Structure 1
Amino acid sequence: MEEQLNTLNIKSKVVGLKMHKGKTKFMTNYENDDTIQIENVSIEKVQKYKYLGKSTCMKDLTKEEVDIRIRAGWSCLGRNREIFLDNNMPLCLKKQVYDQCILPTMTYGCQTWSLTKIIGNKLKVAQRAMEREILGIKIKDKIPCKIIRQQTHIKDVVLFAERQEWNWAGHVARMSDNRWTKRATEWQPRIGKRSRGRQPLRWSDSIAKVKGRLWHREAGDRNRWRLDAEGYILQWMDEAS
């Protein structure tokens, strides 16, 4: 890892970039006392790090990340409250603001989420509450979610996240320049033992369940991969319902 970071530091200087040693951190998926230095400066070892608004950790933090995204979505709705609570504002314009501002905020980084039924339901509950807020109705009014969606016509947050994940998986599979993204996705550990109990869900497991473990080969055909997206999403929704 130290060799890779030093290589990155050297290559960065070539294109006029400078690595900030104080903001650079490193993590490992095993316990050790290793230290890393770049130009005689020690790099801090951390268990979790936030970069570009997204938490990065060796453990699956999808549940925590979704909670953060939901709070960010509500904050975004609050900043646009004058639009959503304006009775004179056409609902089609409110939908446009929601799909372009709040939905991307709620699903930021969703391409690498390990979506489960529990997490998907949490996103749906938050979105339904936002829809009721936009329409000015209360949960005690007992209006079916289907009727509410027919009025708002906003994009379903879970379907949107699943489509983003599918598109990202195809993009990674088609990478041909040996980038770290592709190498990390296809990496298989050669040492260590399998831990007891059920293994954590990986972001690509749901795709492999539909297309098999060799899904990255089929992703090479961009047009076919796009056509298969609907089947993947429908199957995921059937299993989650």
Structure 2
Amino acid sequence: MTDIKEHRLRLLLEAAEEKKSLKKAKMALSKGRTPIDAVLDRNGIPITSRARIEERIPVITLHGDPLEETDAYVYLGRELRCDGSIMTELRRRKRAAWAAYGSIREVTAHLQDSKIRAHLFDSHVLPALCYAAETWPLTSTAISFIQTTHRALERSLIGTSLPSMRQAKQSSEDVRRISLLADPINYIRRAKHRWAGHVLRRDDDRWSTRVTQWFPPPDLTRPPGRPPARWRDSIEEYAKMPYRVGRSTRSSATRVPYRHWTTRAHDREDWRNCDPRGIAR
């Protein structure tokens, strides 16, 4: 790619120095492009159909069995997609959560103790809803989807509905005080916090640690537009505040020197103190 750009720039500069038309020089460059061999048929005619292009791709086999090309697959219970989208995975988590709730509904419907009922829900349904959430980027869409699903499950648990809540003038906070359930977003943030510390304290040079500590080269430019939410954004949101325990402020003399969150994660005690629901908050 760099050689092509240098060739294009060199020809345009030569045309400018010789006072020739830049438009004609660009047209000559455009006509000089030739299709690559991979998209030519046997007669040398370019292939424009995607189906025919895929026919030319050699079949990859493993132990004699052909490997099927796919845009998404499920690994260890979590769906991975080539485009990095987690919307279909969120729908899978929603179905798994309702299935887990269905397995305990018969018991929770007859429990009178709210604490036992909440403990049963948080130990069965919440892990199914937030499975592998420590690897998610916490976008506003993901947060809204998880909250909506969890509130629907919460209403079913205590035997109410949205019309009943409106008639009784109850809010979601009122229902949460009745159900005593854990907040799913706090659950995900703590899971991400534990996972980040675990990954960065590894010393066996695994790929997950390398990817987490990787930084793009300084000469790399990102495409225009708003960048997508990254996995580390929700961690940097609270871990970048290196305040001591107590009522310290940004101008306080007790403020500790700034350390990047990847450095703080190597210190288990320091990383525990900047927990999103810990004492350092």
Normalising by structure 2, we get a TM-score of 0.63
Q: Structure 1 residues 209 and 34, CA, compared in 2 at 3 Å: closer, same or farther?
A: farther
Deviation sequence 1:10-55 (CA, Å, 0-9, x none): xxxxxxxxxxxxxxxxxxxxxxx68766667665443211112211
- Where does 1:124-203 land on structure 2 (aligned, <5 Å)? 124-142=147-165, 143-188=170-215, 194-203=222-231
Residue equivalent to 1:227:
273
Rg larger for:
2
In the aligned structure 2, how far is the partner of 1:192 from the partner of 1:146? 46
Task: Read off the aligned partner of 1:135 and give its amino acid letter.
Answer: I
Change (3 A) 1:34 1:108: farther
Partner of 1:205: 233
Change in 2 beyond 3 A, CA 1:131/1:40: closer
Aligned to 1:214: 260
Amino acid at match of 1:218: R
Displacement of 1:210 in angstroms is 3.9
C-alpha distance in structure 2 between counterparts of 1:34 and 1:203, whole Å: 35
Q: Secondary structure of 2:80's partner? A: strand
Q: Which amino acid aligns with 1:176?
A: D
Instruction: State the partner residue of 1:62.
Output: 86
Evaluate the alpha carbon distance shift between residue 214 and residue 179 of structure 1 in structure 2; reply closer, same or farther with a 3 A threshold.
same
CA gap 1:176/1:145 in 2 versus in 1, 3 angstroms: same
1:127 CA drift (Å): 1.4
1:97 to 2:125 alignment: no
The 2-side partners of 1:76 and 1:231 are apart by: 27
Cα distance in 2 for residues equivalent to 1:83 and 1:75: 14
Tell me the residue number matched to 2:95.
Answer: 71
8 Å contact from structure 2 (residues 190, 275) kept in 1: yes
Counterpart code for 2:190: R
Moved more, 193-202 or 122-131: 193-202
Residues 182/141 of structure 1: CA separation in 2 closer, same or farther (3 Å cut): same
Deviations 1:65-118 (A, max 9, x none): 1221112111211222211222x5422221121011000000000001111223
1:124 to partner: Cα distance? 1.3
Shift of 1:187: 3.4
CA contact (8 A) 1:60 1:200 kept: no
- CA–CA separation in structure 2 for the residues paired with 1:178 and 1:36: 29
Distance, in Å, in 1 between the alignment partners of 2:276 and 2:150 is: 21
- The amino acid that maps onto 2:222 is R
Q: Following the alignment from structure 2 to structure 1, what is the Cα–Cα distance between the partners of residues 195 and 141?
A: 22
Q: Say which is worse superposed, 210-219 or 102-111, in terms of deviation.
A: 210-219
CA distance in 2, matches of 1:63, 1:152: 28
Alpha-carbon distance, 1:141 to partner: 2.0
TM-score scaled by length of structure 1: 0.73
Check the 8 A contact 1:83/1:89 in 2, yes or no. no
Matched letter for residue 97 of structure 1: L
* CA distance in structure 1 between the aligned counterparts of 2:216 and 2:266, rounded to whole angstroms: 25
State the one-letter code of the partner of 2:231.
W
- Give 1:171 deviation, angstroms: 1.0
Contact 1:173–1:219 (8 Å) recurs in 2: yes
Asked if 1 retains the 8 angstrom alpha-carbon contact of 2:59 and 2:67, the reply is yes
Separation in structure 2 between the aligned mates of residue 111 and residue 59 of structure 1, nearest angstrom? 18
The percentage of aligned residue pairs carrying the same residue is 29
Checking the alignment, whether the CA contact within 8 Å between 1:62 and 1:115 is kept in structure 2 is no
Partner SS state of residue 56, structure 1: strand
